[in-house]
Amino acid sequence: MRVALPPPALRRWFRHATALAIFVLMVYLSARILRALSGCRPGAQSCTPEGPLPLQVQHKSGLLGAAGWEEPQCLGPQGMLGRMTRSFRDSLKPKGDVELSQYLAGWRELVRFLTPLGSAVAFAASEAFMKVTALEARVQGPDAAHYTSLATMAPWERRAGLLEPPGTAPGAPAQASGSRTLLLLHRALRWSQLCLHRVATGTLGGPDAGAQCGDAYRTALAPHHPWLIRQAARLAFLALPSRDRLLELACPAAGEADARAALARAAGILEQVYNRTQDLLARHGLLQLA
């Protein structure tokens, strides 16, 4: 059957479609141009610097956890990086599991860190914040006993039918589960970890933070995002502050070498949490939930 659109509606539709196509093309082209300017060829596997680390970072990284390195204040009890790493580290108890309340407390600090990094990252951070709040509501809700850790949550949500694909479980709200929320946070944690690690260890004169965090995005999140979001994200990362500014935000009033070492330590803890969570999600068959 043919549906005849009235001419004014058709014209409006055309105008909107054309405007959208031009916008998408511009976003796409400027992303490619800026990427090329920033030294990361599109299609290249990675624009992680291959050169050696600055000597000071190598030196300090070797000392991480060892006696002799005086921690900068940002890793202390008052520092944001310190609060974040402690919460995430505490989420690794009990052995082999991830405790949800500490994991979410760590995420709250991570969101606080990401929010000043420009409007587009702030948007992503606010998305993450909503997920943190949603999962916290379960952790503190009437079913709190089942939401102490990932290993208690997953089997319970499976028994409760919350992990069925949408449409197969009548009455269950489509895809709303703590496990799915956690999976989305987990992928974003991977991006944060790669981004912080690369900012901490990037060579002087190598790609700047924006290129490195954009590259981390391509690894960790882009495979799960639609095309338009990917293009918008690329632009957002090019507007990221410089490495120096990021180091200053992460570790105010510390020297560059100390700030890099502190950030590298934080990224190391995030990696431990990521690895543990990845392992658990795989074991419970939850990696395909979203």
Ligand X SMILES: *[C@@H]1O[C@H](CO)[C@@H](O)[C@H](O)[C@H]1NC(C)=O
Q: What x-and-dash track marks residues 213-252 binding ligand X by CB under 6 A? A: ----------------------------------------
Stretch that binds ligand X, among 116-124, 155-163, 224-232, 271-279 (CB under 6 A): 271-279
Per CB under 6 A, does 272 bind ligand X?
yes
Extract the tokens encoding 141.
């809700």
Per CB under 6 A, does 56 bind ligand X?
no
- SS3 state at 149: strand
CA neighbor of 113 nearest in space, from 134, 90, 91, 88? 88
Residues 157, 251: Cα–Cα separation, whole Å = 39
Site for ligand X in 4-33 (CB under 6 A): none
CB 116 to ligand X: min, Å: 27
| Distance, C-alpha 284 to centroid of its chain | 22
Residues 69, 83: Cα–Cα separation, whole Å = 19
* 90 CB neighbour count, 10 Å cutoff: 14
Stretch that binds ligand X, among 15-23, 180-188, 202-210, 270-278 (CB under 6 A): 270-278
Residues 290, 285: Cα–Cα separation, whole Å = 12
Number of residues that bind ligand X (CB under 6 A): 4
Per CB under 6 A, does 271 bind ligand X?
yes
With CB under 6 A as the contact rule, the residue among 10, 255, 275, 290 that binds ligand X is: 275
- Interacting residues toward ligand X by CB under 6 A: 268, 271-272, 275
